[in-house]
């Protein structure tokens, strides 16, 4: 293929290429593993076994999403799908991986196929099959056969080679075998997910906790009063905008009054060097099942006493001691199971704090301002923390936690918005503000590290917070401008180093343009410039230098001019093939269009004056209109006229059922009175033919009988002959014997 053409195509595709922006933060939300299957197949048992494997904790109740920290980099939310179609549809919308359970002693049930169909229309998530109840299937060849059959059926439904696990039997405590669960977990931990575009581009969350915030007094008055509900969950997909309305599956659309960021209830371990998780890091968070250590509310943090005790008495004591140091009052909650920390602070105070402008009245456009505020406040709070003022510790604990949450939320929000600003906004002052305050996302992180120094020790701080060790302002501005230019280049045309795309395109345009400047006369421009420069008599030495550089520029322009002239000639020759530059394509076409223009002006220029007349002017009538006016009829072509449809009467043969088929029919449906028909013989000839057949039949019968009688006579004759011969042989034998015996007697008597 032509190299030039290929290059042009590359340039074109580079211009339209939009890079996929990674929206995830450093700590992605937990992956959602749904356990789906028919009733009593062992779903709850599997969830219990999986949770036991990851956290060494026993689940009494399996209810709602259960989040576990499965490793250094991954968290998993398990959810058991109730056995109904609505739940299946909801699960298919959010699940990343589905464990599709099948009772091997029963085989595939309708639910499995239903779910696969539902998943298909929601963007197919990853699916792994899990066979249970294998202990109820006879071992040996029969089990092998069943496994094989189920495997192939599963492959037909999904794809060839789809993973199918076997959970052979229940072990101690009614859970599956440790080794088998551990193998299954290994597969879950390494599985790769395909991106589902719809999910990537929309914000969504799987609610793992619901809280009714309705005023109890109002509720006691009217049970059907509108409820205020707080929904908690990990945000997934795109960033959640508080101004968008939210769809709750199966309930409807609602406008949220506020969206707040809370501390992560199941954070990944901070120290990344360790080889495996310790017991403390194996966090289990399942509020709907009544399990999980901490619970963060809009206005309080709850600690589950059972969980702390489970983690070891010493740790629990330590935790409470720390809280005591901070002069916090511990107060038993109404349920007796949860402790409300921060109970010393008035609920209204906390509410106003968390409902404050920083978090709830969040506006993407004002984000940069917010980031600055938070940064300052964070630094301020650090200073406050360093002074030994015990009375303020209580408030500091709460406010710092809240600020950290908000700042990390803004950091995530800012990464996408600033990216857009950097790519499409050329205002360098804006860029400067952005880069000082935020990182731009994974793609640009390295460059940002050069300009800001992030405090390595304080990992909890948002990465965009810069310390005082920054270069002077001009330096930063220059670097930021460079960075912005580089980003723009990468996004819009691709970075081609020396051969910058924009420059190349401009050169291309100059050389291969439409030659319009040639037609207008570029020489005049040069002359004018020359005149201007030469007419400046009061020019000093500096002006002389300027003149020289202008001279250079002129010669450069002249060169381009000559080159263009040549290209134009080549172009004209190619399209006109006349060799005469004065009678080229351009001249010819411009003279034709000029002629039309004059003609039009002559026709309408004088006769129509003003807009009112223009709108009244009707123009020429169409041929159709004239024909209608004068009632002229078009001559019809004979072959385009409709003719009456003539249909031949169709004759059908009587239905005859073949003998073979008739034999298999049930007696009721057999056609008993079906007359025998002789193919190809009509009614008129039927009787003589039948007579002929009768005569022929009679003759044949007579012949047959004669043949029979003849053969009988022949047999009789043959039999008589044989009998005669036998008698004769007997007689001869008798005579012979007589002779022999008489001779013998003679001999003996001698
Ligand atoms: N023999 C045998 N029993 C099993 C196996 N797996 C689960 N069970 C038993 O099957 C019963 C049902 O298990 P669950 O885990 O409650 O099943 P489920 O799918 O959650 O049931 P629903 O929630 O009611 O739909 C329990 O009594 C389990 O002990 C297995 O592989 N073999």
Give the model's pLDDT for residue 19: 63
User: In what order do the strands lie in the sheet containing 294-296?
Assistant: 294-296, 301-304, 338-340, 331-332
Task: Tell me if 77 is assigned to some domain.
Answer: yes
SS3 514: coil
Residue 48 CB–ligand 1 contact under 6 Å: no
CA of 192 relative to ligand 1 center, distance in Å: 29
Give the model's pLDDT for residue 276: 66
DSSP classification of residue 131 = E
**Best of 35, 44, 45 for a ligand 1 pocket test (most atoms within 8 Å of beta carbon):** 45
Task: Tell me if 260 is assigned to some domain.
Answer: no
**Best of 36, 38, 39, 42 for a ligand 1 pocket test (most atoms within 8 Å of beta carbon):** 42
Residue 135 CB–ligand 1 contact under 6 Å: yes
pTM, rounded to two decimals: 0.44
Atom 1 in ligand 1: residue holding the nearest Cα: 133
Task: Tell me if 261 is assigned to some domain.
Answer: no
- Answer yes or no: do 469 and 538 share one domain: no
Parts of the chain with a pLDDT under 50: 303-310, 312-395, 414-420, 425-471, 490, 492-496, 522-539
Task: Tell me if 1 is assigned to some domain.
Answer: no
Domain range for 361: 356-492
- Answer yes or no: do 38 and 163 share one domain: yes
Residues 6+ apart with CB under 8 A from 215: none
Domain C-terminal end among 548, 568, 585: 585
Phi then psi for 206, rounded to 5 degrees? -100, 115
Residue 39 CB–ligand 1 contact under 6 Å: yes
Task: Look at the block and give the residue holding tokens 């509310």.
Answer: 297
- Answer yes or no: do 35 and 112 share one domain: yes
Phi then psi for 332, rounded to 5 degrees? -70, 135
- Answer yes or no: do 40 and 159 share one domain: yes
Q: Give the ligand 1 atom nearest the CA of 134.
A: 31
CA of 476 relative to ligand 1 center, distance in Å: 64
Give the model's pLDDT for residue 556: 81
- Token pair, residue 578, equals 């006349």
Task: Work out how many domains the chain is built from and give that number.
Answer: 4
- Token pair, residue 314, equals 């010493």
Give the model's pLDDT for residue 488: 58
Residue 393's Cβ-count burial label (10 Å; 0-12, 13-18, 19+) is middle
Give the model's pLDDT for residue 596: 81
Give the residue among 325, 334, 271 at the shortest CA–CA distance from 302. Answer: 334
CA of 59 relative to ligand 1 center, distance in Å: 15
Give the model's pLDDT for residue 111: 86
- Answer yes or no: do 303 and 447 share one domain: no
Atom 15 in ligand 1: residue holding the nearest Cα: 42
Give the model's pLDDT for residue 99: 94
- Answer yes or no: do 110 and 176 share one domain: yes
Give the model's pLDDT for residue 452: 38
- The CATH number of the domain holding residue 95 is 3.40.50.300
Task: Tell me if 162 is assigned to some domain.
Answer: yes
- Answer yes or no: do 429 and 553 share one domain: no
Residue 38 CB–ligand 1 contact under 6 Å: no
CA of 44 relative to ligand 1 center, distance in Å: 7
Which ipTM score applies to this complex?
A: 0.94
Give the model's pLDDT for residue 382: 38
pLDDT in tens, 230-279: 888 888 888 888 888 888 888 888 888 888 888 788 877 776 555 666 66
Give the model's pLDDT for residue 178: 87
Residue 133 CB–ligand 1 contact under 6 Å: yes
- Answer yes or no: do 188 and 70 share one domain: yes
Residue 6 CB–ligand 1 contact under 6 Å: no
- Answer yes or no: do 81 and 184 share one domain: yes
């Amino acid at each position: 293929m032509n190299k030039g053409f290929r290059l042009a195509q590359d340039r074109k595709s580079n211009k339209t290429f939009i890079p996929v922006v990674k929206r995830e933060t450093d700590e992605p939300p937990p992956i959602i593993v749904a356990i789906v299957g028919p009733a009593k197949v062992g779903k709850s048992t599997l969830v219990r076994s999986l949770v036991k494997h990851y956290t060494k904790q026993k689940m009494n109740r399996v209810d709602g999403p259960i989040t576990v920290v499965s490793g250094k980099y991954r968290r998993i939310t398990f959810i058991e799908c109730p056995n109904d179609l609505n739940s299946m549809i909801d699960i298919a919308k959010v699940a990343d991986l589905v464990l599709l359970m099948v009772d091997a002693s029963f085989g595939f049930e309708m639910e499995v196929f239903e779910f696969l169909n539902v998943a298909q229309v929601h963007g197919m998530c990853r699916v792994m099959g899990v066979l249970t109840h294998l202990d109820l299937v006879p071992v040996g060849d029969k089990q092998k056969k069943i496994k094989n059959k189920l495997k192939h059926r599963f492959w037909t439904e999904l794809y060839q080679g789809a993973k199918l696990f076997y959970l052979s039997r229940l072990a101690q405590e009614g859970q599956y075998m440790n080794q088998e669960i551990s193998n299954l977990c290994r597969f879950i931990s390494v599985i790769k997910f395909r991106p589902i575009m719809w999910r990537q581009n929309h914000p969504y969350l799987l609610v793992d906790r619901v809280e009714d915030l309705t005023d109890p007094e109002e509720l006691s008055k009217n049970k059907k009063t509108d409820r205020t509900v707080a929904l908690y969950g990990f945000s997934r997909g795109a960033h959640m905008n508080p101004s968008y309305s939210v769809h709750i599956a199966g309930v409807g659309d609602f406008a949220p009054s506020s969206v707040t960021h809370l501390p992560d209830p199941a954070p990944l371990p901070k120290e990344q060097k360790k080889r495996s998780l310790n017991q403390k890091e194996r966090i289990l968070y399942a509020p709907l099942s009544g399990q999980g250590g901490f619970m963060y509310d809009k206005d309080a943090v709850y600690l589950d006493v059972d969980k702390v005790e489970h983690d070891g008495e010493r740790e629990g004591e330590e935790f409470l001691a720390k809280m005591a140091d901070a002069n916090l009052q511990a107060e038993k909650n109404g349920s007796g199971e949860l402790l409300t920390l921060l109970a010393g602070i008035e609920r209204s105070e906390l509410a106003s704090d968390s409902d404050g402008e920083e978090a709830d009245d969040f506006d993407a456009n004002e984000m940069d301002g917010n980031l600055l505020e938070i940064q300052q406040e964070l630094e301020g709070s650090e200073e406050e923390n360093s002074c030994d003022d015990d009375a303020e510790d209580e408030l500091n604990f709460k406010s710092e936690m809240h600020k950290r949450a908000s700042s990390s939320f803004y950091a995530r929000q800012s990464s996408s918005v600033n990216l857009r600003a950097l790519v499409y906004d050329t205002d360098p002052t804006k860029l400067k503000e952005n880069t000082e305050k935020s990182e731009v996302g994974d793609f640009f992180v390295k460059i940002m590290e050069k300009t800001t120094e992030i405090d390595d020790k304080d990992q909890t701080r948002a990465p965009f917070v810069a310390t005082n060790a920054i270069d002077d302002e001009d330096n930063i501005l220059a670097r930021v401008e460079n960075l912005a230019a580089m980003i723009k280049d990468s996004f819009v045309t691709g970075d081609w180093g020396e051969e910058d795309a924009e420059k190349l395109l401009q050169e291309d345009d100059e050389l291969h343009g439409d030659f319009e400047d040639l037609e207008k006369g570029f020489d005049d421009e040069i002359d004018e410039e020359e005149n201007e420069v030469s007419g400046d008599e009061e020019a000093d030495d500096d002006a002389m230098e300027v003149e020289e550089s202008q001279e250079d520029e002129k010669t450069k322009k002249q060169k381009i001019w000559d080159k263009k002239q040549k290209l134009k000639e080549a172009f004209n020759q190619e399209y006109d093939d006349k060799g005469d530059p004065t009678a080229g394509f351009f001249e010819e076409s411009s003279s034709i269009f000029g002629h039309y223009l004059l003609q039009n002006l002559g026709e309408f220029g004088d006769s129509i004056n003003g807009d009112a007349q223009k709108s009244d002017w009707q123009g020429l009538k169409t041929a159709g209109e004239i024909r209608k006016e004068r009632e002229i009829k078009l001559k019809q072509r004979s072959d385009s006229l409709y003719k009456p449809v003539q249909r031949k009467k169709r004759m059908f043969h009587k239905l005859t059922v073949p003998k073979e088929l008739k034999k298999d029919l049930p007696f009721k449906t057999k056609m008993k009175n079906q007359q025998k028909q002789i193919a190809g013989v009509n009614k008129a000839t039927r009787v003589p033919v039948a007579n002929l057949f009768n005569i022929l039949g009679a003759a044949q019968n007579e012949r047959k009988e004669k043949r029979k009688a003849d053969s009988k006579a022949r047999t009789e004759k043959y039999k008589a002959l044989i009998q005669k011969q036998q008698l004769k042989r007997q007689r001869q034998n008798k005579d012979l014997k007589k002779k022999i015996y008489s001779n013998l007697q003679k001999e003996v008597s001698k």
